[in-house]
Amino acid sequence: MTGGWEAGVEAQIRTAQQRGDFDNLPGMGKPIPGRGMPYDEGWWIRSFMEREALPSDLLLPTPLQLRRKIEQLPDEVRGLPTERSVRAVVSDLNAQIVNWLRTPTGPRVVVRPVDADEVVRQWRAHREQPVSQRIDGEPPAQPSVVSVRSRRRWRLPWRRRAR
């Protein structure tokens, strides 16, 4: 029974070859990907990401993606036209960070919300520079990652230090 089925498939393949359906296919004359190389379990995800032109950052755990976004924040806000738009971008990033902090997943990496005032200060400083310094000079420093709450030392009134 299998012999008849295989014969029918072989007949269809032969007919398609005679019609030229297999001529000029993409990848013709190239080796089959992955052959002759050590086995890699992630070959399919790597080939999918190359084919779809996706950034490799998508494979990072959430806290590392957030840290990467914090690092890239100065470049992202540099071309924005208004302070309101800069604050909106920082607010969106801080919302993502706070959301992750509520239910952390992945490796334990320290990620703190970004200080919006510091990012705006750096954005203003960059805009006030002459164009020649912006291109030739070094990029502005990374935004300081500061907790939303400032830490204060509370002293009880009866425990004041003598000066």
What whole-number distance in Å separates Cα of residue 99 and Cα of residue 80?
Answer: 25
CA distance 21 to 96: 51
Q: Which residue has the higher pLDDT, 16 or 158?
A: 16
Closest CA to 90 of 78, 101, 102: 78
Q: How many Å apart are CA 148 and CA 2, to the nearest integer?
A: 71
Q: Which residues contact 120 (CB under 8 A, 6 or more apart)?
A: 83, 86, 87, 90
pTM: 0.57
Q: Is the pLDDT of residue 135 over 70?
A: no
In a domain, 86, yes or no: yes
Asked whether residue 85 is domain-assigned, the answer is yes
pLDDT value, residue 42: 83
Per-residue pLDDT of 6-49, as tens digits, reads 888 999 999 999 999 888 888 888 877 666 677 778 888 888 89
Q: Which domain holds residue 83?
A: 59-136
Count of domains forming the chain: 1
* Helix, coil or strand: residue 152: coil
